[in-house]
Structure 1
């Protein structure tokens, strides 16, 4: 039950009814003429016209209702932002008790945040350096991003309204326990919110767009390199590859803009075809992107490779299915910032300590499909991979940002069954079915193992004989060594 009355008045622009459900809302956008109106007591004034919202294929919509921490709420407004890293939305949440919150939506990831007080005067945005640590109210945060963003459009009723199309700073800080603190410099004083990641199904939402919208039509254009038709399935995609010539096409400026592209001479066929769907973690995922990456450890000449599949689910967003020589894993970019000191042998996240396994330079060597960040052949990052049993943690560092991902290992048989590629079961096997496991022993066969032991004994006898005849004896040899490709997922992106 809402303990306050709903205020309704005619729009100053067209006369259509404009409604205010929240006492905190001072702005609204008329759903008929898109006039931006401001409320002053019982009076509405028109202050301009708002750009129409762009279709971000969000499952959310105005007046969708749900429940968070046993508190019923309704989505009553939306702000759409644009920045260097892409687009995202902030939904104005109205709880039944009249209080408000913000549900941030970014490429299928969601953060529910409540208004917060900084309890001190905040420094200018340029004082927050990405990658550094800072303390707010006695709590330590890592500075995850500091970008100049701008409001692209808005709808519904809103507690704030930055100037349309004018850049302003927005800083995001993350803590080791998964808290996200955002500082919005689009108002004076800056608005501060504190929040945590939520899954859409946790919010028990009803009235979603997917209840009435069953199909999404692909956008199509001609490849700037070969002219073949290229389809873009996801609104979030910032790059896509041409299936005819393998060119990587940059979409970050929009399909209507002049498109830049990079040709890829070689082609790698993914073991799991693009467009495949599979059941993982209780949800249906579609393979929308694939990239092959190469790595080498500092001071080593040898290289190793691994594959990453970008998976998409409309309610859960994006995750990565990673295929390395050590096995398969499922990872996702973290909301919080793990604790790690440069050069340390351990990192900790959400109460778990992870041991450093690999440090290496990574380069993207081939891409196919769609990606929600501008991926390109030749992109590099410095990666560190950590493990704690089956749990994995990885860090990717570029000159512009640091991205953490977490996840866990997965058996190759599970991958084959999930995506219906049992015919490739043997090709999918990695060290999770190696000679030290029961599956591996069963696959090799006892006769083969006995034969290998006999061959090894004969080799040892020959080596000993040669050693006895050689002057000085002794000698040494170097093992193959090298890393098996780590557990890295994603890249420098949000």
Structure 2
């Protein structure tokens, strides 16, 4: 683990209050005084006060300053923290100082974390407008796809830091991702624009010590009055960005923290989750808690009047992050946002990710219809995304694109019986049974006798329809298409990256 005394350090009194301000890294140029919150800049052996930093909003992160761990066999300590906001929500980036003097960033990324390090494009950094969403480019002979092109602002900071963008002033951020899970980020908040390159990590694999304790987070659980009805609303999930009021069902935006102005939207209650919020279930060897629920509608191009619907349950595990349990007419599936960006074939008929080729199954528009519980990104009713569903055998891959971001999710189908068993819902077995429970299904569904009856009924209905059409001399029936799979291939619904 990191040594208690850094190999190099510099300490000087804060120009604002006289309290000691320490720089452990020779690469740090700024720091925030922990006493008066003055932002100070280091110039040689002197410090100059350049302003005052806003208070951090409490996002209930398990990370904190001076937490230590190991990455690729190298020891590091978290010495600084930056909080940002963009159109995709708020996120934190932690400055990691390694024992050998190198530095990196541990950043939130779509419900997970990415460890990144300073990198070079090996050419002049292009302007943000040149990096069109969905476009591909080569970096060091490796193909990357532009997945985010947005505006962000620095909200607050803590500890010692690299050169900072002016707080509250928007600047461009772009993310590019590869089909093997790498993330490349470019920030135009300072000049020249810094470039970072990294990949997803699990906090449990970093051997972290000195994390914020579980009991401390429970004591600090955020509670506030609903801005619509005044009923108490408690935020239990770290990093929550949207939550619904349990009394009036208003959807409340927490992207600026509880201390910020709370925007809310009234919504009726047209659907009820079959799996209750707060329920615990075991899937893929881990225990998950249902923390959020949303119902979504979709339609094919040119067929907005013929909509199909599905539901998504947001599941949380402290060590594994977030996954989505998706309920559609043709079956259940378990998917999670991926760090990388699959490579699309010309025309978009195929996508390749981690060496597997997926075939396009459907393209459609998706809209959020109803929301309940807590979410790690700002959710709004009426949010729309352009979706594409791909499949490779039982493996599923989904792309969702908004105006400023492309997110991908990957997973696989689940038999209905597995969902019933996972959450102990044997009393709701009939309600949870889906299209996977046919006579050839392994999900323990409909028996052969029931299947025979259904086939006979289908034949009778078909004969009645044909007879009616033959009798109708002047009529001509309209044609349409039906789609039942919906979001069983979907996932994050604009969950977004860490930018």
Q: Kindly state the Cα deviation for residue 352 of structure 1 after the two structures are TM-superposed.
A: 0.7
Kindly indicate whether residue 346 of structure 2 is the aligned counterpart of residue 354 of structure 1: no
Residues 41, 454 of structure 1: alpha-carbon distance in 2 compared, 3 angstrom cutoff = closer
Between stretches 300-309 and 92-101, larger displacement belongs to 300-309
Asked if 2 retains the 8 angstrom alpha-carbon contact of 1:108 and 1:316, the reply is no
**Counterpart Cα distance in 2 of 1:449 and 1:80:** 56
2:492 pairs with one of 464, 469, 490: 490
2:78 pairs with one of 64, 68, 75: 75
CA offsets per residue over residues 410-455 of structure 1, 9 Å max, x none? 2323322332323223322223322212554xx5445445666777
**Counterpart Cα distance in 2 of 1:439 and 1:51:** 54
Kindly indicate whether residue 41 of structure 2 is the aligned counterpart of residue 38 of structure 1: yes
Residues 432, 22 of structure 1: alpha-carbon distance in 2 compared, 3 angstrom cutoff = same
**Counterpart Cα distance in 2 of 1:413 and 1:7:** 59
2:274 pairs with one of 271, 277, 284: 271
The two structures have a TM-score, normalised by structure 1, of: 0.87
SS at match of 1:312: strand
Kindly indicate whether residue 187 of structure 2 is the aligned counterpart of residue 184 of structure 1: yes
CA offsets per residue over residues 258-284 of structure 1, 9 Å max, x none? 554443344211011112223334443
Residues 269, 459 of structure 1: alpha-carbon distance in 2 compared, 3 angstrom cutoff = closer
Which one has more relative contact order, counting CA pairs under 8 Å at least 6 apart? 2
Whichever of the two has the greater Rg, that structure is: 1
* Structural mapping, 1:35-434, within 5 Å: 35-106=38-109, 108-210=111-213, 213-215=216-218, 216-224=220-228, 226-234=229-237, 236-252=239-255, 255=258, 259-300=262-303, 302-341=306-345, 343-434=347-438
Aligned residues: 486
Residues 283, 453 of structure 1: alpha-carbon distance in 2 compared, 3 angstrom cutoff = closer
**Counterpart Cα distance in 2 of 1:107 and 1:394:** 15
CA offsets per residue over residues 367-398 of structure 1, 9 Å max, x none? 22223333233332222111112221001223
1:9 pairs with one of 4, 8, 11: 11
Asked if 2 retains the 8 angstrom alpha-carbon contact of 1:218 and 1:234, the reply is no
**Counterpart Cα distance in 2 of 1:365 and 1:303:** 12
Q: Kindly state the Cα deviation for residue 94 of structure 1 after the two structures are TM-superposed.
A: 1.4
1:18 pairs with one of 21, 38, 42: 21
**Counterpart Cα distance in 2 of 1:271 and 1:87:** 30
Asked if 2 retains the 8 angstrom alpha-carbon contact of 1:291 and 1:365, the reply is yes
Residues 81, 247 of structure 1: alpha-carbon distance in 2 compared, 3 angstrom cutoff = closer
Q: Kindly state the Cα deviation for residue 311 of structure 1 after the two structures are TM-superposed.
A: 1.9
Q: Kindly state the Cα deviation for residue 257 of structure 1 after the two structures are TM-superposed.
A: 5.6
**Counterpart Cα distance in 2 of 1:261 and 1:38:** 39
Asked if 1 retains the 8 angstrom alpha-carbon contact of 2:295 and 2:309, the reply is yes
Residues 70, 264 of structure 1: alpha-carbon distance in 2 compared, 3 angstrom cutoff = same
Asked if 2 retains the 8 angstrom alpha-carbon contact of 1:59 and 1:315, the reply is no
The two structures have a TM-score, normalised by structure 2, of: 0.86
**Counterpart Cα distance in 2 of 1:336 and 1:193:** 15
Asked if 2 retains the 8 angstrom alpha-carbon contact of 1:9 and 1:44, the reply is no
Question: Could you list the runs of 5+ residues in structure 1 that have no partner in the other structure?
Answer: 471-475
Residues 380, 180 of structure 1: alpha-carbon distance in 2 compared, 3 angstrom cutoff = same
SS at match of 2:339: coil
Partner of 2:474: none
